[in-house]
A and B are shown apart, each in its own frame.
Chain A
Amino acid sequence: MSVAVGEPIQAPSPSCRIDIALAGALQQTCGVVEAMNRDRRCAIVLYDQGCGSIAAAIGLGLPQAFLSLMESSAAECFSASRESEFAVHADIAADPTCREVRDAALAQGLRSSWSLPVAGTSGSTIAVLTVFALVQTNPSPADLQAARTFATLIADTIERSRIDQAIRENLTRLELAHNIARLGYWERDVVRNRAVSFGRINDIVGQADAHQALDLNQLLAKVVPEDRHLLIEAGEDVAANRPHLREISFRIRQSDGEIRHVLAQRRGIRDESGRIVKIVGTIQDVTAQHRAAAELKASEERFRLMAEHTGQLIVDCDIERGEVNCAGAIREILGDAVGTAPKLPLDIWRKVVHPDDLAMVEQAIKRMLKGARISVACRILRFDGKVLDIEAIGSAVIDANGRATRVIGTLSDISDRRRAEAEGRRYLMQLAFLADAARKVNSVLSVADLLQTITQIARDLVGCHIAIGVVWPDEADRSELRSSSASEKYASLNSVALLAATLDESDESSRELKGAMRAPRTAMADEEASSESQIIASSGLLTVPLVTPAGRANGLIRVADKREGDFNPNDERVLGQLANLAAVGIENARLYGELEARVGQRTQELEHSNRELEAFSYSVSHDLRGPLRAISGFTGLLRERHFGTFDNDSQRYIERIEAGTQRMAALIDDLLELGRVTRLELKCEQVDLSSLAEAIVQRLRERSPQRAATFDIQPGLHVWADLRLLEIVLENLLDNAWKFTAGRSAADIVFGVCQMGADRAFLVRDNGVGFDPRYASNLFGVFQRLHATTEFPGTGVGLATVQRIVQRHGGRIWAEAEVDRGAVFYFTLAEEPR
């Protein structure tokens, strides 16, 4: 709280200066001494009361220069008389003690002197009177008597002057005090009906004329209406002759509209007969104090509200006073038992902090008292015995000497934060469990394995002792599947017993369960718990249906006996999510199972048909050629034995029969080959197509050495393929090229590679007869031929075989040609090893 300071104040004169009026009076005294005897000169050395030193030397007939000398220490000889009655120097010229002033004195004609101390009322010396004689003489008794008389007179003069000065100074101080305190003083003589006022009355009241006495009616007019009765009541006291001190507080509206708060005191003064003759009083402008107090109150209120709203306990430890003041969440942090505004001893923390945390807190406090701002989390024992997790933050106020004088700190309840952190950790863990479940659901598991996995995860997910899972039979009439998972608590129960105890068999409604179902833990007396199922049911259950996205319920998950607390909506939510995953997973596992069964069936069918094909091939291989051999054989015999006797037609028939049988044999062989390349297991390796082509070309040349031909084979072409099959491909393609260029004067055959989009395509190009591109799609069908057999031999199976081989290598084959302009066959093979 600050002190209101008014306008600047004139300071009173310092006491060391000599008062002009006193100096004049003392000069006149000197004049009287000198007037009484012309041979005399007089000086008064005035001592200063407060300072104890010479304040001034005063004289009338002596020049100022000499008086100045009298003020100095050179004139010590004249003050020696302070101890003795008189200090007499009969011959200044000869007196050794006057050596320092001798010349100055002689220059003024001063030949002798006698000095007398002037004593004040307290007995101390306040001045020294020195009388000089212009002739060398000893003072006469009359001189001494006169000096004594004057000394008394001087003492009175000085004393009176000093009292006057003190009064003046007091009045000045009073004025100053009035100004500072904004205080006014007034008196009313009841008998004479006269009033006087001092100080700031007029300022306070707002009365313009400073000399006019305060009039009650005028004052009342300025007081705010609500407060007027206070003044009137006070006036009644006087009328009723009650002189006791009365204090009232009221408000004044000044002419500029400003409201001033005024504190007024009055008291009646009685005469000997007991009648009140005078009333004295003070009026003080306490607006500033009033405002400051109001502000303080508002500030304190704000602080209290703030402290309460932060939910924190705010402690202010006054180390010097040894007490702790509390604000804010006192009850919440310290408990009900502590009261609303407790003052606690400084070492209260030793009782409040949990014993396990004491050492840690003590360390922190030490650091804080050295100036560190600390923040510690610890447990406290409330006054009501409850344990609370808190966080304390504090710092000390350190004084100039480095001592801690005060500690301000806050204590917050962090139990909720702790719970939230634990909840957060649990949430993360649950997410991890769900992610694990999602992985498991997506991995290939049988329905039974998946159910077991989900059940295990369910138990970990909600943190309980028992989890069971049930998958109901679906349309395919599979049997119901069940799975259980239990903690060591239920180790005595095998899974059958556990399932029986946890599943309520009679409860058919669980099939119709659309959402989660929660049963809280119920207290049950021991004698009631007659069966395992009752025990488990009373430990709290949570059941969620497994519902597919299509809305079909295919089972349920039930958990029981949570490790901590009851099952809550959060458990319900996460278990529901697990159930959704599980439902989808089970659907998928079932579908997968069905697919697998279907694939198995197809594989079996395929194997069966493969075996039949094998048998067919075997039969074709062994039996179809037999009759041909007979036809060919016996025709051959006929030709051998009777050819010469046949007419021309018959000879031609024989030749036709032989050609037919040969063609039939070739067809059979080619078909068998086609069947073979279809069934053959691929044995892939690095195949050098270039050298393979070279070898084939070599064989072709040998077959018809007379033909003119150019072969252009790109070297270094390697593929990852089955060597035997690729040989068939190249054989067929090069054989065709060789065959269809037979009519050319010079065959021009190319084997190479080119880039076709993203693929590497191998090509066999010839300059043969080509074919009509409109029929290109017929090329690769079995028995499809674009040329007459008589023109070019062939069964029409070769290219079908080639296509089959290329397809088995993950590639494709196509051809480009024009009639009479040659043909190009392209084929690709899968690049990666298959």
Chain B
Amino acid sequence: MTDRYILLVEDNPDDEELTLLSLRKNNLAHEIIVVRDGVEAIEFLFGQGRYVGRDLSRMPTVVLLDLKLPKLDGLGVLKRLRAEEKTRMLPVVVLTSSSQDADVIASYNLGANSYVRKPVEFGAFVEAVSSLGLYWILLNRPPPMHAAL
């Protein structure tokens, strides 16, 4: 379990805190890494910029990706991930405010594994995020890392 973690790409500190709270309720919060824009997400995942030298063998079990992000938006990040061999199969869940058809379609088109709209109501939000965490960390079997490496 210790080698498993979630990468949360989220620029809104409120959403970040609420998400972390929700995950913590299920004891899933101990392995969460948060990056706050698209560029940082890319740098982290590919060991670039401020993440140079990061142990790239440790990849997140799932990426929770917001769409509206500074610098590089979520769809841009997804596109980069799917373009690279290393991250082609990395599970990515789009977690966003938007329920626009265009966003949903674009996300799946670019290879998102799931699309979840953040509920406004607190209870529902907690429910949604915890379910996600439980599913992707505990239930889902990720692709073998060596296959990506």
Contact = CB atoms under 8 A, between A and B. Distances in A.
Contacts of B119: 629
A636 B122 contact: yes
A621 B97 contact: yes
A622 B123 contact: no
Interface residues of B, number: 22
B125 A629 contact: yes
Contacts of B14: 626-627, 629-630, 633-634
A37 B68 CA distance: 191
A662 B68 contact: no
Given A626-B12, A629-B14, A637-B21, A669 B121 contact: no
Interface string A617-635: 1100111111111101111
B7 interface: no
Contact of B99 (A628, A629, A672): A672
B15 interface: yes
A632 B67 CA distance: 21
Interface in B112-140: 118-123, 125-126
Looking at A630, A658, A664, the one whose CB has the most chain B CB atoms below 10 A away is A630
Contacts of A637: 21, 122
A664 B121 CA distance: 11
Contact of A665 (B96, B103, B120): B120
A672 B120 CA distance: 15
A49 interface: no
B67 A629 contact: no
A229 interface: no
Contact of A621 (B21, B99, B122, B123): B99
B100 A621 contact: yes
Contacts of B15: 626, 629-630
A634 B125 CA distance: 11
A629 B96 contact: no
Interface in B63-100: 67-68, 96-100
A283 B100 CA distance: 139
A625 B18 CA distance: 14
Contacts of B68: 622-623
A624 B97 CA distance: 9
Interface residues of A, number: 26
A732 interface: no
Contacts of B3: none
B74 to A, nearest CB: 10
A457 to B, nearest CB: 53
B98 A618 contact: yes
Contact of A629 (B21, B101, B118, B123): B118
A661 interface: yes
A629 B10 CA distance: 14
Contacts of A628: 120
Contacts of A658: 121-122
Contacts of B97: 621-626, 629
Interface string B1-23: 00000000000101100100100
A160 interface: no
A34 B121 CA distance: 191
Given A622-B67, A629-B15, A633-B14, A661 B98 contact: no
B18 A618 contact: no
Contacts of A676: 100-101
B121 A665 contact: yes
A390 B126 CA distance: 112
A672 B100 contact: yes
Contacts of A633: 14, 18, 122, 125
Given A629-B14, A629-B15, A633-B18, A622 B122 contact: no
A625 B118 contact: yes
Contact of B121 (A624, A627, A630, A661): A661
Given A628-B120, A630-B18, A632-B120, A621 B125 contact: no
Contact of A625 (B101, B120, B122, B126): B120
Nearest to B25: A640
Contacts of B118: 625, 629
Contact of A669 (B12, B99, B101, B126): B99
B121 A618 contact: no
A629 B18 contact: yes
Interface string A684-726: 0000000000000000000000000000000000000000000
B65 to A, nearest CB: 13
Q: Which 3 A-B pairs have the closest CB atoms?
A: A636-B122, A630-B14, A665-B120
Interface of A: 617-618, 621-630, 632-637, 658, 661-662, 664-665, 669, 672, 676
Given A624-B97, A626-B14, A629-B118, 8 more contacts: A621-B97, A622-B97, A625-B97, A632-B120, A636-B125, A636-B126, A664-B120, A676-B100
5 contacts: A622-B96, A622-B97, A629-B14, A636-B123, A662-B121
